[in-house]
A and B are shown apart, each in its own frame.
Chain A
Amino acid sequence: MAGKPLRKPAPFPALPAQESVVECALQLRKIGDKLNLHQKIRNLITKLFCPGT
């Protein structure tokens, strides 16, 4: 039986403007939050092991 062609998710550029904006903001939020957390951990480690600097 000929199966239904698989529907691939739409690539980023094909999204309409509003969806693009939402998707883009979501990714930026993830990237930003990850970076923020890493930097906080880095700062905490620095504070613990080099309190005088």
Chain B
Amino acid sequence: MPGALEEETALLLADYFQHRLGGAALPPSPTAQTLRRVAGELESRERPFFRSACRPLALAEPGEPAALLARVAAELEAEGGLNWGRVLALVVFAGSLAEALVERGAREETGRLAEVLSTYLAGEKREWLEANGGWDGFYHFFNKHGSQPTDQNSTISNAIMAAAGFGLAGLAFLLAVR
């Protein structure tokens, strides 16, 4: 029987893949919603890389794309281990590969991709995932103190305004003491 971490990982990845492949269902949890959001932001920022990297891999023989994904995952963490950014990049890569496979007419291959990624994260990398708070850790890392991107943007705006305020105050002080 799979444990809670395996189940949650499989559910999150299944939701993300469905979302990438055109599914319109609502995200099943706040973590799934966060994954959709941050993965979408990363995918649109790095689209040329994801497209050019996945297209040739999607042309491989049946069964090969999943094996290639497993090799990319192993190679990715060979230097410096994992962090949430690398996990997200890997998930987006897998989603882009799934998209490329569907474009090629090999939708049946996409289930195997999700399976391989899920086994890698919740199986091989279980210790790392648990040490980093599991998927709750992922949620908190990408939603620190503000669950919406607008909250984070306003926080950054506040920080910029505060820095500008300090600068102006310093300038006024310098003019006053001259």
Contacts of A49 in B (CB 8 A): 155, 158-159, 162
Contacts of B146 in A (CB 8 A): 46, 50, 53
Number of interface residues of B (CB under 8 A): 37
Contacts of A35 in B (CB 8 A): 42, 85, 88-89
Interface centre among A17, A31, A50 (most CB of B within 10 A): A31
The A34-52 residues at the B interface (CB cut-off 8 A) are 34-37, 39, 42-43, 45-50
A38 vs B119: C-alpha distance when bound (angstroms): 28
Query: B55: CB under 8 A from chain A?
Result: yes
A11 vs B82: C-alpha distance when bound (angstroms): 28
Contact of B46 among A22, A31, A43 (CB under 8 A): A31
A37 touches B52 (CB 8 A): no
Contacts of B168 in A (CB 8 A): none
The B52-75 residues at the A interface (CB cut-off 8 A) are 52-53, 55-57, 60, 68, 71-72, 75
If A21-B71, A24-B72, A49-B158 touch, whether A32 touches B89 (CB-CB below 8 Å) is yes
Contacts of B152 in A (CB 8 A): 42, 46
B53 touches A12 (CB 8 A): yes
A12 vs B42: C-alpha distance when bound (angstroms): 20
- Beyond A27-B53, A53-B146: 15 further Cβ-contacts under 8 Å? A13-B52, A20-B56, A24-B53, A24-B72, A28-B72, A28-B90, A31-B46, A33-B83, A36-B84, A42-B156, A45-B156, A46-B155, A49-B159, A49-B162, A50-B146
